[in-house]
Structure 1
């Protein structure tokens, strides 16, 4: 694709989502709610997502002088929580958390109860959640190339953990197998705690987890990092290689951001975006997110819409090539 064609395609994608931004130099009027705002998280309480979202909710509460209540609605591969956002009025009083499942589900599931592009208004990309391929210290390989060699030497003898069927780790694991022609058994778990119960004692030798949750175990010498799932080396942890360096096309920047119900008025979307970006600029918030291995992006709504479309295309290709399924 030529540069001109690429620019035209990007412009068309942005227009299709209907998320216009403010003109240059123009400032959004203040959003000042008169009652509590609900922030729906599609995952269980107490996990890495909560550690990112709750400090932001607290600062928004202080800015708006109204409670911002984090409402955890897990289940269905994040579909339950996302549907709760979609079904809410687009009045600013219900927002949602978007993770990579938002961009994976359109390719894996043909029974979504909502249209990702029509029923959701992208609000802002907070940052990226970094996935990590980790291994028990006793595992002979120290990088992805070594893992591939080990798997080829013992076809079907190795297994790898993921944080669930249909997650980025699951699809990436299957894609690696197809790209490099090796076999390894997928063992899905319902979250990090369950996966670590098998990874830490070495009953499952390798697995895809979230870098933030893995770091304490890595620093304690209980796990080692074979590679990160980022497209490029992580700015906060450049010492770790990325899978993309070994197998092109397998890296991804796992989206993490906020969304709103579809068809929200552009001026209201801009108002809320301006307030969230203001909160994300606070040094204490940036420090807290850095502790979760996340660098702040704080994008505009149209920029986040483009990121979501890009990621949907990545997962469409990855699902098709890997043959990954939810059943």
Structure 2
């Protein structure tokens, strides 16, 4: 099926994960306290230039300055994160290889990759929350709608006739569209694009009536008046978009967020995980990083590893009913 890439079980085995944990025992105590002792690889699962990649590079830039060591961003897209996870799972657990995980790695990957032998929640070590990025729902010029209630009325009046651009299959953007379908009890066609830049020509040309995407991807056309913002998918209105309603004002309980979390390979010692977590929080407190991050539509949240784990579990709980309803279409 499109967007459903299977990897041989031999490529990432439970044995590899256990080997990573065992490798932690081989990391000398001195090395555990002398971190970093060389360049750090920060792996993500998106292509260069994608919104999460930009956030990843921003964090890498500030950590490089703090640590006095280069933090190298490595892009390994594919398989809803499976390619990146496969590359990080067997890494030496000494903090010099880290993974910037997306929400879909926890929410959609288990459904997309049945039997995938690495469970990011169970096997990887939580480090820090890199930020959450609400999405925006916007209408193209061909629709004439100005508000989310007007969009819902349009969807109800033309079942199956409206096209909505909603990112890659199985992405948080796709899931946000499916949640909208469930919450409004409407039918529409979801069209998948690699990103907002690929979808916008169809939106502006009228082939696609609605777009759901990360705010940075469509902010230019929104600011330029080419598309009309209808709502943001955060729980409440955003400080830098106070005049754009939240979806929850029309559909109570709706909150579809993309988020980025920093994880370490299985077996990473607690002392190293705690050190990196503290350093991430240090750079997140810098006004420059905070402003640049929020300008990109990403809102940092300072958490401890324990708080991060609780957040991930809560997000899995929130999305579980949506995944159950949409299991067939997200594959």
- Which residues of 2 match residues 101-180 of structure 1 at below 5 A? 101-109=104-112, 110-180=114-184
Q: Distance in 2 between matches of 1:259 and 1:323?
A: 26
Judge conservation of contact 2:80–2:109 (CA < 8 Å) in 1.
no
TM-score, normalization: structure 2? 0.85
Judge conservation of contact 2:77–2:84 (CA < 8 Å) in 1.
yes
3-state SS, counterpart of residue 222 of structure 2: helix
Partner of 1:38: 41
3-state SS, counterpart of residue 117 of structure 1: helix
Partner of 1:237: 241
- Which residues of 2 match residues 75-86 of structure 1 at below 5 A? 75-86=78-89
Structure 1: gaps of 5 or more residues: 1-28
More deviation in 230-239 or 94-103? Answer: 230-239
Q: How far did residue 324 of structure 1 move?
A: 5.1
3-state SS, counterpart of residue 233 of structure 1: coil
- Which residues of 2 match residues 165-314 of structure 1 at below 5 A? 165-314=169-318
* Structure 1 pair 178–226 and aligned structure 2 pair: CA distance change class (3 A): same
| Aligned alpha-carbon RMSD (Å) | 1.9
Q: How far did residue 82 of structure 1 move?
A: 2.4
Q: Distance in 1 between matches of 2:185 and 2:286?
A: 47
Judge conservation of contact 2:35–2:95 (CA < 8 Å) in 1.
no
Q: How far did residue 31 of structure 1 move?
A: 5.5
Q: Distance in 1 between matches of 2:76 and 2:222?
A: 30
3-state SS, counterpart of residue 200 of structure 1: helix
* Structure 1 pair 252–155 and aligned structure 2 pair: CA distance change class (3 A): closer
Judge conservation of contact 2:97–2:264 (CA < 8 Å) in 1.
yes
Structure 2: gaps of 5 or more residues: 1-31
| Count of residues in Structure 1 that have an aligned counterpart in Structure 2 | 299
Q: Distance in 1 between matches of 2:311 and 2:177?
A: 22
Q: Distance in 1 between matches of 2:281 and 2:216?
A: 23
1:123-174 alpha-carbon deviations (Å, 9 max, x no partner): 1112211111111133221222111111111121111111111122222222
Q: Distance in 2 between matches of 1:131 and 1:159?
A: 18
More deviation in 313-322 or 276-285? Answer: 313-322
* Structure 1 pair 185–309 and aligned structure 2 pair: CA distance change class (3 A): same
Partner of 1:96: 99
Q: Distance in 2 between matches of 1:242 and 1:147?
A: 14
Q: Distance in 2 between matches of 1:252 and 1:152?
A: 22
Q: How far did residue 107 of structure 1 move?
A: 5.0
List, as ranges, runs of 4+ consecutive aligned residues in structure 1 with deviation greater than 4 Å: none
Q: How far did residue 323 of structure 1 move?
A: 4.9
